[in-house]
Amino acid sequence: MRHIFGGLALMGLAACAPAVPDSAAGVGFGDYDDYQRQQAAREAALNGEALPAPAAVSSEPLSATGAVQPASEAENLAADTAAALNSGETPLEASPSNPAPAVALNASGISDENNFENVAALRTIEGDKARIDQNRAQYKLVEPTELPSRSGNEGPNIVAFALETTHPVGTQLYKRFAASQTRADRNCAKYASADLAQAAFLAKGGPSRDRLGIDPDGDGYACHWDPSAYRKATGG
């Protein structure tokens, strides 16, 4: 009985197992055929045998083959738009029958003015001499003139004052009453530079008199103005 039940169980398991599909002619035989052809072509090349010529490319324009259909209205509009965007020129159809592009006459990029051979062919020594003489005839010589003199209405000349004096800064030559350095510093702050302060000082009676209160030490130089720079400029 045990053997009978065991056989029935095996038969039930076999019935539940999935069926194995038939591989038929097998997988990969097409690739193997291609490999065989490649090997045959390689052997022929090694043995010096002639190989089949590749397919020739026709040089006939596309329009002559009859394959190109007449352009529709939309295609014509698109071509006109492309021509407007292409500097007003209609794009060329890619075809072997198209003419070769125009070659620039001066491919090197050198102009005639910088090319010695071209200039030598266009100009002569006599012509260059005449051109030089013509340019010289147009020259205008400007003779130097005397510098204008001061009218005397421009105010004190601090440069002339600096050259007329010889004493250094801080040497008292003029009396000052109730002078104050604090007051002088406050008044000097009103001027943008020491030169402007010195000019105003001379215009108000300086150096002998200090009506503006900007020369407390009585050296004749207001707001620490230094005449040595002007003296050095003249070699003094």
In a domain, 103, yes or no: no
**What does the chain come to in residues?**
236
Structural domains counted in the chain:
1
Task: State residue 171's pLDDT score.
Answer: 92
Task: State residue 71's pLDDT score.
Answer: 57
In a domain, 94, yes or no: no
In a domain, 131, yes or no: no
Instruction: Please state, in angstroms and rounded to a whole number, the distance separating the CA atoms of residues 92 and 77.
Output: 16
> 194 is in which domain, residue-wise?
158-233
Low-confidence ranges of the chain (pLDDT < 70): 1-32, 48-94, 100-115, 118-119, 150-153, 236
In a domain, 193, yes or no: yes
User: What phi and psi values does residue 64 have, to the nearest 5 degrees?
Assistant: -85, -10
Task: State residue 186's pLDDT score.
Answer: 94
Task: State residue 105's pLDDT score.
Answer: 45
Task: For the full predicted model, state whether its pTM sits above 0.85.
Answer: no
Task: State residue 140's pLDDT score.
Answer: 85
In a domain, 3, yes or no: no
Task: State residue 221's pLDDT score.
Answer: 96
DSSP characters for the chain?
-HHHHHHHHHHHHHHHSPPPPP-TT-SSHHHHHHHHHHHHHHHHHHTTPPPPPPPPPP-S-GGGTT-SPPP-HHHHHHHHHHHHHTTT-PPPP--TTSPPPPPPS-TT---GGG-HHHHHHH--HHHHHHHHHHHHHT-------PPPPP-S-S---HHHHHHH--SPTT---S--SS--HHHHHHHHTTSSSHHHHHHHHHHTTTTT--SSS--TT-SS-GGG--THHHHHHTT-
- Give the Cβ contact number of residue 158 at 10 Å: 21
In a domain, 178, yes or no: yes
